[in-house]
Chains A and B, each alone.
Chain A
């Protein structure tokens, strides 16, 4: 399974809404789709699992949705600390996992 994220770079201002896309090359179970945030010099941080469940401590401005081949991460109102790179990830039942190539969210 190949995950394709779009756009590659998203330029927005604090307070705006961000919509990031992740498309799978074939239909996947939403139970197996996750999103991560990575800031420079840091390890990735889990944001969303099961396509729409926020991980512990993640603010409610982050939300995930989608099914089948199309999934979306939405940040309702961008805070300065949200500018980072975001990755989607799929793990199959056999625990073969793959990541999307990432979307860089930058300040406009």
Chain B
């Protein structure tokens, strides 16, 4: 079974560092892009960025460039999202998701498998 399992909820103070994880199983980690999506309380979905674990090619939405870092470790089939200085405005649920591939091998340009989400609360 294809699964993306995310790390547990976090409560942090402004200025803290944080690294959350997304461990995948059931498919070849290196061969699929993994994206990150934020959902602030009661709000919609915001795309943060994406990584290709095979060569660590990483792309960020301009709004998030410099604010977060996306990485991946092939040895443990895990993708990460990290902050070096959290702000209250970073509070929200963070989802990882796999970019699907059609049977033909071309990108489906959609996220077919999602993690369960990690709730991040930043408060003094």
Which A positions have Cβ atoms within 8 angstroms of B? 31-34, 36, 38, 43-46, 49-50, 55-56, 87, 89-91, 94-102
Query: Which residue of A55, A56, A94, A97 is within 8 Å of B47 (Cβ)?
Result: A97
- Contact yes or no, B110 A101, CB < 8 A: no
By size class, the interface of chain B is: 20 to 34
B115 part of interface (Cβ distance < 8 Å): yes
Which B positions have Cβ atoms within 8 angstroms of A? 33, 35, 37, 44-47, 50, 59, 61, 95, 97, 99-100, 107-112, 114-117
Q: Can you give 6 contacting A-B residue pairs, CB < 8 Å?
A: A43-B97, A46-B100, A49-B100, A91-B109, A98-B47, A99-B47
- Contact yes or no, B35 A97, CB < 8 A: yes
- Contact yes or no, A49 B109, CB < 8 A: yes
Q: Within the assembled complex, what's the spacing in Å between the Cα atoms of A62 and B61?
A: 30
